[in-house]
Amino acid sequence: MSAFPKIILASKSPRRQELLRMMDIDFRVVLKEVDESYPDGLTPAEIAVYIAAKKAEAFDEDVTGEVVLTADTIVAIDGLILGKPESSEHAVEMLQRLSGKVHEVYTGVCLLHNHQYNKFYDRSEVFFRKLTEHEIRSYVEEYQPMDKAGSYGIQQRIGLIGIERINGSYTNVVGLPTEKVYQQLVRLKS
């Protein structure tokens, strides 16, 4: 198999970096500050793709030949978008809302290559069992999930003890739908 074009991962997420390493994909991390606001009226999938594309736009003038990979993951429940928590108490509130219910995780991805934007997303349903107040508070205290949409990481304790099942891609819930990313990268090199 021939190598993919050189890849820039525009994400500080250690989870996304680990997933790419596990896929044996060479990359380097380059970060730029981007305003992650979005217009009203977008669906959760549209929001995730919009923000991923906005992150890629920050590189469009600077990068030629390499592929810039950007992503944004959001959690949605009952029509409400749960982004990253603003405080520990906010994280507790989010997890209380998710407890005992089904929610959706959307990851929007953008591959920028030679000024061409390849945008796509994945969606997974996550089924949480009813969590106790102690489980929620001890998780937030110990893991400080301030950098995670919906206030949790599926690969951490709360996911291991609280998630009954998922419909869809596990890696999408982690933060990068690796199956779809791989297929799009294969298309780029052909």
Q: Domain containing 26 — which CATH number?
A: 3.90.950.10
Annotation marks residue 122 as catalytic: no
Domain assignment present for 185: yes
Residue 2 in any domain: the answer is no
Q: Is 168 a member of any domain?
A: yes
**pTM as predicted:** 0.94
Residue 110 lies in a domain: yes
What is the span of the domain harbouring residue 52?
7-189
Residue 16 falls within a domain, yes or no? yes
Q: Which helix (H) or strand (E) holds 69?
A: strand 67-77
| pLDDT on residue 1 | 42
Q: Which of 24, 60, 62, 72 is catalytic?
A: 72
pLDDT of residue 2: 43
DSSP state letters, 3-35: PPPPEEE----HHHHHHHHHTT---EE------
Is residue 1 one of the residues assigned to a domain?
Answer: no
Tens of pLDDT along the chain (190 residues) come to 447 889 999 999 999 999 999 999 999 999 999 999 999 999 999 999 999 999 999 999 988 889 999 999 999 999 899 989 999 999 999 999 999 999 999 999 999 999 999 999 999 999 999 999 999 999 999 999 999 999 999 999 999 999 999 999 999 999 999 999 999 999 987 6
Domain count, the chain: 1
